Structure 1
Amino acid sequence: MYISIHPDSPQKRNMDQALAVLETGGVIIYPTDTIYGIGCNINESKAIDRVAKIKGIKAEKASFSFICHDFTQLSQYCKPISNDVFKLMKHLLPGPYTFILEANHKVPKMLKNKKKTIGIRIPDNQIIRDLVEILGAPILSTSVYDPDKVIEYTTDPELIYERYEHNIDLMIDGGTGGNIPSTIIDCTNGNFEVIREGLGKID
């Protein structure tokens, strides 16, 4: 299924369609403030396995992150963070950043790596944030890569759908995507370590 959702004023009918897919364990491709992502409800283990299969990896060895609606939801899945970390996140989010934090017991085991950490995003994209809010749970996040080594990321949602339509349950067209990934900041060792510099600027 392929649906278009307006990035600034998401239509309720189309959002309800996307919600139904997620609630029944479906896999979707959706827009973010950076690259289009492949994901599912983080509480649906079979769907997580499907996403891992699409990426050609095992779920327990993947470095998946997930998208939260706001800080209240984020705090439900990570251990308490320091004031410095909170201030930095508050300053940068919503935005094109992924923060590596210590995972707590609410994060599904198959999403924790050996270090028991998790990547968390609050993107500046109304479609996916509104969808996460009405779902009431985070959505798994992993970038849609292009097999072309030069392009790396496909920005055209129709071309993305052509490639993945037989592997997913829903494609959300939220307009042309980006081709620069999020900036990844590791906050688990008491410092701020930039793991990958992407779209998010580092002061």
Structure 2
Amino acid sequence: MELEIGGMVAGVDEAGRGPLAGPVVAAAVILDIGRLPDGIDDSKKVPRERREMLHGLIAASAQVGVGMASVEEIDSINILQATLLAMTRAIEALPVAPHHVLIDGNRQPGSLPCACRTVIRGDAISLSIAAASIIAKVTRDRIMTALALDHPHYGWERNAGYGTPEHQRALSLVGISPHHRRSFEPIYRLMNQDSRTSN
């Protein structure tokens, strides 16, 4: 995995494109080579407890910005555009302006105030993108755990809003919540079923 050298380089990644509920969260991270935490890797490869620890270490040693797009925005503009919006907000939330931005994937926001490059599987290639993936993942997991306190049926503290069997069973038993993405096919289909049943 490479560490970017030369200018202020921000790695950007998101968490939460696929779930049936909750916001999509993006993070932008500019690492300090002199205060680099050990063990930064793609968040999907890092156990949850280790991710939590790395989140604190990264937040304490790097420049970090976080951006979100709400369920309402996801349903209004679609998940891709909402993800790009969250990325833009994360970059804008950085305490310092980066010279370059590296974005995980193959799509980038339409207008950014600096040079930008997309990197497919960037969280496995770039340390700053991997750090951003950890910040985004932990931030979103915490949001879903908090939402689960008011909506305990769905198991969001365990499944983060993804369409697991547990989540699907709860949907069939108690229906949808205000935090479900109505534009996503399983939720849209369930809403239509409920509508037909009530008519």
TM-score, normalised to structure 2's length? 0.24
Higher helix share: 2
TM-score, normalised to structure 1's length? 0.23
